[in-house]
Structure 1
Amino acid sequence: MSTTNDIVLDRKPEAPAAAAPGFDWVRLVPLATVIAILTLWWFASTRGWVSRVFLPSPLAVLNSAYQVTVSGFADSTLLQHLLASLGRVFGALAASIVVAVPIGAIIASSRIGRGIFDPVVEFLRPLPPLAYLPLIIIWFGIGEASKVLVIALAMAPPIIIATAAGVRSVSRDRLNAARSLGATRLQLLRFVVLPSALPSIVTGIRIALGAGWSTLVAAELVAASRGLGFMIQSAATFLGTDVVILGIAVIGIVAILFELLMRALEKRFVPWSTHL
């Protein structure tokens, strides 16, 4: 005869009840943070906590955005400044990808290549762009080439390091399996190495874009007539704090949009990535 304790022990544990679907309030945290910053900014400028010369109100910055968009600033509209900066950044990115991806693959696959390129990459990687900007100007002048080169030098190390890491992570079993099926070196590179390393390469490009935008202002300090960095520097010369804040905000917003675009492209074209 079973006792009450036996009945309790024999009973199967009930599955926990599914949580009732509801609104995820955590999603509102970023929005709340932005609202809090804007509110604090508004009170600091309108209540006189900080002089409006040093911190104009959000409304003043919006008014400056309209004026720069319609009438321009430093002989160019906001769109023209933005397009000039985008041209430099994407020109530098294209040059960096063309040079950095092969160098990263060589570093990962050849001891001689690692010995040649690795010291150069490790030397350039921690250097701030302002350190070698004067040397670039001496060598290449003050034209567009020097600006693009400075940004490209800041972009290349992340792509090289990410590419080398991606190539090293290729499974030996996959390589041996492809070789056993008669794959040539070119087929190994195209169908095994490149797809396996592509997620790391895309991550390196995302990091490089951030480095490029952070270098943009330094690159446009030299004999530029258009660009967001040039606009910021020109406004700072005349204490145009509202235009300075506008330029910083535009750079930040565009950088965020590019990051979101890179994530979308990664999900679309690199669905096998494990770090999405």
Structure 2
Amino acid sequence: MCELFAYSSDNPLEINEYLKDFYSHCNCHPHGWGLALLDSSNYSVYKEPVCARMSLNLKNLLEKPIINKNVFAHIRLATIGKLIPSNCHPFYKKDDSNRMWTLIHNGTIFDSSDLCRYSMIQEGSTDSERVLLYIIDNINKLESQKNRSLDVKERFDLLSNLVSNLSFNNKLDFLLHDGEYIYVHMNCRDSLHYFKFNHGVMFSTVPLNDGHWEDVPLNTLLCFKNGKLIFKSNTHNNEYIETPEQLIFIKKFLNSLDKVSEGDFLW
């Protein structure tokens, strides 16, 4: 699988040390890295299909202060999709109201006919990218029906329904940004944690060195703005528990990948 990291605050904070700690896990997740600076005044996405600590580009990025209110980071252990740039997280796309949606995902979608149609229009070949396209498509459809842009509560309610349906038989740990709000979901126990501090909140698949980390609520969609909890959904029943068949599928896919280049860490 993959690892996720996010930071959200009402006060920009330099987070280079947290990012370095997060990316240091890349020896177990060597198939790519990604970084998204999500503030509207400084929106940028960087990603490569190489091991994070072997990337000169990432090394150069982390040598300068990264100071943002909202940041996503990702390291990939592939379960679907080749090792190419278009299969690296974060995935991003604008909806019909010109909101930029950005997604990082940890998990595998084993069972969802709703996503199949997006395989013909996506840039890469991952199930994670199809999740983003599915969400945006449903946002666009509802806005078209209402003939107006959805407010945040309407977007949250729609996402809650989509997540409840899509999480059945699937691992759906994700962080999603719509240009203003961050949505968080975990349906596999002990696979996403959070740390609250004075000005905001931080999320990580594996707790990082500093702070008192707690489990993200299971099977629940959360919505944050600048580090503050805005909405919390009802709990659904689709907890993900990996089956032996799914584990065989994942191992078979990993064995089919080209061998990851070996080399010395650059940082």
- TM-score, L = length of structure 1: 0.27
Q: Which has the higher helix share?
A: 1
Larger radius of gyration: 1
- TM-score, L = length of structure 2: 0.28
Q: Which has the higher strand share?
A: 2
